[in-house]
Amino acid sequence: MNRRELLVAVGGAAALVATRPAPAAGHSRTARPPNAALHWSGIAEAAIAPGRPPGSAGVLGGIVHGAIHDAGAAASGRYPALLVAPCARGRADADAAVATAAYLVLSARVPAQADSLADSYAAYRALLDNSPAVGRGLDRGRQVAEAVLALRADDGFDATVPWTQPAPGPGVFEPVLTNPDGTPATPVDVKLGRVTPLVIAAADQFRPLGPYQLTSAAYAADLVEVAAYGRVDSTVRSPAQTDTARFWAENTFTQWSRTLRGLGAERRLDTAAAARMLGLAQVTAADALIACFNAKYHYLFWRPVHAIARADSDGNPATTADPTWRSLLTVNHPEYVSAHATWSNAITTALAGYFHTSRIPLTMTSTITGTTRTYRTLPDAAADVTGARIWAGLHFRKSLIDGARLGRRVAGAVAAHARHPRQERL
C-alpha cells in the first residue's frame, strides 16, 4: 500500500473516530472498558490471521502492535516510544489512545475488515466517557496511527514478488507442496525478506552464515537425525515427541498472540504496561521474521524431504538416499533458517527483557492438540521448538540453532532501541 492509499484509508476511519458519540452525559463510564491493549490485540489477531501465511501475519501484527505500544506510551508518559512519539502535554486515557491507534492502523492495513473493525471500535468507544482525558487519548491515538502509517508507507509488505525456481541440484530448495493439477505450489512469503524492518537497520543485518556444507560430517549427522525422528511413520519417535511436534504445528502467529495476551492478563498488566509488553514482543517478532525470510530466500536450502530422498546426489558417503521418506508435517518455504525457532526465541528474549528475568512461567495452548503446556521458564518454551521441528521432519538441527541465535540477536537490537529510540517526535 502506497502513501496516498494509506492516507485515504486512515482519513475515512479517522472521521469515524472524530464523530463517534461518547456516553450521553457526565464523565462517568457505564462499565469499565476491557484493557485496550489486550482487547485490541485479540481483534488484530482475528483481522490479520485469515488468508495470510503465519510469517506475513506476524509482520503485519508487529506493525499494529508498534502502534498499540506507542499509543500507550504517549498516553501514559511511562515508556519511550518504539516507532513514533507525538509531542503532547498532560496525561491521556490510555484505553482511548490504544483502541484508536489500533483501529486506525488495522483499518488502513486490512481494508477488507474495515466494517467489522468499525463495529468493534464503536462498541469499545461506547464504554469510554467524555472526559478531557479520553478526548486527549483519542487525539493521541489518531496521531500515532497516522504517523505509523506514514512511516510504513511503501514498506514493501503489499508488494508482489514473483517466485523464480533456481536450477535444481543438490542442496537447492524446491517446493514441497503441489497444486491440484500436480504443478509445484508457489512457496509462501517470498516477499517477506524484502520488507523494510521496523527497528533493525536492514533485513540482512544479522544474516546467519548458512547451512553446513553437504559433504561435511556435521551435515550428515543432522540428516541422519531428522531422517530417523522426522519420518511420518518413524519407529524411534516417541508418542510424547509426536505430540510435541503437533503441539507446535498451530499457526505460529495465533499461538503466540494468544499466549502473550494470556500472560498480560495473568500478570494483571494495566493498559500501558500491556501495550509495552505486547509491542516489544510483536515488533521484535516482526523484525526477526523479516530477517529470517531474508536468509531463507538468500540461501534457498532444501528441506529434509528432498535432502533425504536425493542423498545419493549430495557427495557425502555418510548419507543414504531414501526416496520413500515423508515428513510428519509439511511447510512450503526454504529450510534455512527455521522461522519457528527464530520467532519463538525473539519473543521469549523480548519478554525476558521486559520482565527483567527469564524465570517466567509460561502457559501455552494448541488448537491442534487441544492441550495446554506450562513451561517453568521462557527459555524452556523456546527450547521445546527445537525438538518439535526435528520430530516433525521439517528442519536440520543447525537451522534451529542458527534460527534461535538470529531471534535473540534481533531481540537484543530491538531492546537497545527501546531504551534509546531513534524516532523523531511529531
pLDDT tens digits for range 235-282: 999 999 999 999 999 999 999 999 999 999 999 999 999 999 999 999
Roughly how many angstroms between the first and final C-alpha of the chain, as a whole number? 22
Regarding pTM above 0.85, the answer is: yes
**Minimum mean pLDDT range among 4-8, 188-192, 362-366:** 4-8
Residue 85 pairs in a beta bridge with 425
156 vs 185: CA distance, rounded Å: 23
419 vs 276: CA distance, rounded Å: 12
Domain covering 192-419 in this structure, CATH number:
1.10.606.20
Residue 27 banded pLDDT, cuts 50, 70, 90: very low
Which amino acid is located at 418 in the chain? A
What is the C-alpha radius of gyration for the chain, rounded to an integer number of angstroms?
Answer: 22
Q: Which residue spans of the chain are classified as CATH 1.10.606.20?
A: 192-419
pLDDT reported for residue 30: 54
Q: How many residues does the chain have?
A: 426
Q: What percent of the chain has pLDDT over 70?
A: 92
Mean pLDDT value across the chain: 94
pLDDT reported for residue 90: 80
Whether residue 8 is predicted with pLDDT greater than 60 in this model: the reply is no
